[in-house]
Amino acid sequence: MTVEAQPVAGLPDPTDFGFSVVRESEIPDELLALVARVRDLVDTVAHTEADPAELREVDAALAQVTERLAGRRRDTGALLLHQPAGGPAEYGTVTNLVAGPTNPVAPPLVLAHADGGLRGEVTLNGIYQGPPGLVHGGWLAALLDQALGAAASAAGMPGLTANLTVDYRRPTPLNVPLTVTSRVTGTERRKVFVSAEIRHDGEVTAEGTAVMVRLAIPE
Ligand SMILES: CCCCCCCCCC(=O)SCCNC(=O)CCNC(=O)[C@H](O)C(C)(C)COP(=O)(O)OP(=O)(O)OC[C@H]1O[C@@H](n2cnc3c(N)ncnc32)[C@H](O)[C@@H]1OP(=O)(O)O
């Protein structure tokens, strides 16, 4: 396979296609604090053994809070613009399941340029559990998919995952820092070949490869 990663000179402006775009700096700290609070709440609710009367009260209180916030709702497809210094603009969805800053279910995974690809750290709590004490395999696939897609995007070649292959090498524990790495390994016409790993204590617990198919941009 030949590596001929040629960043696209100019990607189209998503607003021309009807998407709303949010800059990272436009997300208020207060919303990020609320997201962190709800993330804690999800973990707490998942594990609570509170008695039914207390649960009814909390449920009613949360119903009020939900109604209070529901009045002003962002478009589900809103894009987040990340503009790394010296690199191409990168777009992801604001509520991306793995990396969206406003999604309380997202761990979140924050990836930065490193060693010709991307690298980030993430810790997954009990809500990402599959087997006892271990991360759910579907979530590991989601982390890898995100890292793989982000690697293509960071190289100026955003696309959709056409094919994803995951190998689970070792059990991946909850509640410990995991390192996620990814990179482009080759291109062929619209196909971008990418690979990624998840490590705990330096040991690979899961690895994946994908074929990302670059967006077919209308002329
Ligand atoms: C910073 C932001 C980072 C954001 C990261 C996001 C990460 C998350 C990424 C995702 O999860 S994306 C969501 C899951 N994926 C999808 O929903 C994709 C669904 N599939 C499709 O929409 C289409 O099948 C697809 C766009 C992938 C391809 O359709 P096209 O009609 O545009 O392409 P076409 O079928 O002409 O194929 C183009 C090339 O890709 C190849 N290809 C297509 N499907 C393939 C496949 N499954 N496996 C391998 N190669 C494939 C195809 O053979 C061909 O190769 P050649 O150039 O060599 O002829």
pLDDT tens sequence across 181-198: 999 999 999 999 999 999
* pLDDT exceeds cutoff 70 at 93: yes
* pLDDT exceeds cutoff 50 at 101: yes
pLDDT digits (tens, 9 = 90+) for 32-87: 999 999 999 999 999 999 999 999 999 999 999 999 999 999 999 999 998 877 77
The predicted pLDDT at position 89 comes to 83
Closest-lying ligand 1 atom to the alpha carbon of residue 189: 57
Supply the residue whose CA is at minimum distance from atom 2 of ligand 1. Answer: 92
State the Cα–Cα distance between residues 203 and 216, nearest whole angstrom: 37
The better pLDDT of the pair 1, 98 is held by: 98
Ligand 1 neighbours, Cβ below 6 Å, are 90, 92, 145-146, 149-150, 153, 160-163, 188-191, 211, 213, 216
What 119-123 contacts at long range (C-beta under 8 Å, 24+ apart), as own/partner pairs, is 119/179, 119/180, 119/181, 120/147, 120/179, 120/180, 121/177, 121/178, 121/179, 121/180, 122/177, 122/178, 122/180, 123/175, 123/176, 123/177, 123/178
Task: Give the mean model confidence (pLDDT) for residues 16-27.
Answer: 92
Predicted model pTM: 0.93
Going by pLDDT thresholds of 50, 70 and 90, the confidence category of residue 218 is: low
CB distance 111 to 100 below 8 Å: no
* pLDDT exceeds cutoff 70 at 2: no
State the Cα–Cα distance between residues 167 and 147, nearest whole angstrom: 15
Among 160, 166, 193, the mutation site with the greatest number of ligand 1 atoms within 8 A of its Cβ is 160
pLDDT digits (tens, 9 = 90+) for 147-181: 999 999 999 999 999 999 999 999 999 999 999 99
Q: Which tokens belong to 12?
A: 């189209």
Residue closest to 156 by CA, chosen among 86, 87, 78, 99:
87
**Burial state string for 195-207 with b = 16 or more CB within 10 A and e = fewer than 16:** bbbbbbeeebbbb
pLDDT digits (tens, 9 = 90+) for 120-139: 999 999 999 999 999 999 99
Domains and CATH numbers, the chain: 12-96 (no CATH), 109-214 (3.10.129.10)
**Burial state string for 122-148 with b = 16 or more CB within 10 A and e = fewer than 16:** bebbebbbeeeebbbeebbbbbbbbbb
The better pLDDT of the pair 174, 6 is held by: 174
The predicted pLDDT at position 13 comes to 85
Q: Which tokens belong to 125?
A: 């709590």
Among 118, 213, 214, the mutation site with the greatest number of ligand 1 atoms within 8 A of its Cβ is 213
Going by pLDDT thresholds of 50, 70 and 90, the confidence category of residue 219 is: low
The predicted pLDDT at position 17 comes to 86
